[in-house]
């Protein structure tokens, strides 16, 4: 297992939702906080080659979390930006890391890379067996291209790059902007807003039939750091809980936890997205001992409590 002590570590997206948790987990695992560099878009635009060169200079480990990402609405509105931004950030950063002599590159992929009709549970070997669901294909393909790049750099240069596929994340400090958020923060925001306005109904995209899997952000951070320390193979690895829930049941669970008894109006003219998502997480357990610890109900309670406390404080 790699010791993180004395390692100079770059965490792209380190000031964001997942990045803060990964940084905290790195420190818990023995990394020196003074040797961790967390960068966000305010400091570096990783679409620019010079910024990538500067960011990786002197680093021994790079954990690439930075992404331009959102829910179905953003994927529909900005497919070109999502493709270009994610491809350019990752491709340039990987090349610069290799040229700078970085010891290990940890790339965070996306569940959106899987084919639209992947058999459930998704196995890593299914990744190339079809085209992704159309609404998030540009984002998913851009991120999946980075797996190809890392495997090619390993083959030609011996560069140690690994690729992790986390399922949908959620938790405190998530993106709750209704214009770009994923389903859990979008629902929490929607129900909270309805309660504040005294409304007795909310609208939800789709018909509620698709299924999803969700991983609490602290669990995800722990899995990423465990892989950073102990996984050094070219094959992609899923990170998730292995538990599937329909969007309809998720809405009911969040409404119950938030004491919302109003009506749910399903907007069936809006897209459902991929029909089913649930991961086979056995490889992560076998390769580096990762298993999720936080249940969906408990993670939702903590996320809702954080969101309400934030709004109570104004």
- To the query of whether residue 139 is one of the catalytic residues in this protein, the response is yes
Residue ranges for the known binding site are 13-19, 143, 166-169, 182, 190, 205, 212
Q: Which residues are annotated as a binding site for NADP(+)?
A: 13-19, 143, 166-169, 182
Q: Maximum distance among all alpha carbons in the chain?
A: 61
Catalytic: which of 44, 114, 139, 170? 139
DSSP secondary structure string, the chain? ----TT--EEEETTTSHHHHHHHHHHHHTT--GGGEEEE-TTT--TTSHHHHHHHHTT-SEEEE-------HHHHHH-HHHHHHHHHHHHHHHHHHHHHTT-SEEEEE--GGGSBTTPPSSBPGGGTTSSPBPGGGHHHHHHHHHHHHHHHHHHHHH---EEEEEE-EEE-TT----TTT--HHHHHHHHHHHHHHHT-SEEEEES-S--EE-EEEHHHHHHHHHHHHHH---SS-EEES----EEHHHHHHHHHHHTT--SEEEEETTS---SS---B--HHHHHHH-----S-HHHHHHHHHHHHHHHHHT-
Residues placed in the known binding site for substrate? 190, 205, 212
Catalytic residues: 139
């Amino acid at each position: 297992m790699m010791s993180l002590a004395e390692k100079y570590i770059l965490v792209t997206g380190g000031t964001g939702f997942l990045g803060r948790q990964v940084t905290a987990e790195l420190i818990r695992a023995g990394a020196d906080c003074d040797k961790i560099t967390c960068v966000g878009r305010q400091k570096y635009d990783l679409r620019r080659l010079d910024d990538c060169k500067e960011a990786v200079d002197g680093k021994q480990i790079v954990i690439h979390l930075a992404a331009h990402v959102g829910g179905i609405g953003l994927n529909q509105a900005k497919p070109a930006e999502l493709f270009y931004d994610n491809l350019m950030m990752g491709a340039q950063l990987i090349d610069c890391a290799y040229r700078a002599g970085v010891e290990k590159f940890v790339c965070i992929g996306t569940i959106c890379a899987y084919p639209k009709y992947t058999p459930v549970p998704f196995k890593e070997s299914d990744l190339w067996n079809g085209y992704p669901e159309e609404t998030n294909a540009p984002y998913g393909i851009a991120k999946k291209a980075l797996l190809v790049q890392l495997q090619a750099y390993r083959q030609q240069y011996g560069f140690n790059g690994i690729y992790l596929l986390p399922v949908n994340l959620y938790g405190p400090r998530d993106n709750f902007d209704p214009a770009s958020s994923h389903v859990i923060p979008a629902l929490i925001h929607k129900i909270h807003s309805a309660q504040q306005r005294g409304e007795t109904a909310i609208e939800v995209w789709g018909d509620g039939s698709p299924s999803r899997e969700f991983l609490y952000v602290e669990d995800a951070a722990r899995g990423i750091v465990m892989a950073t320390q102990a996984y050094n193979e070219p094959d992609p690895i899923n990170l998730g809980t292995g538990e599937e829930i329909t969007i309809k049941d998720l809405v009911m669970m969040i409404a119950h936890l938030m004491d919302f008894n109003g009506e749910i109006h399903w907007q069936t003219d809006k897209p459902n997205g991929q029909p089913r998502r649930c991961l086979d997480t056995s490889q992560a357990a076998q390769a580096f001992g990762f298993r999720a610890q936080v249940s969906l109900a408990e993670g939702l309670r903590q996320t809702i409590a954080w969101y309400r406390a934030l709004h109570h404080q104004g």
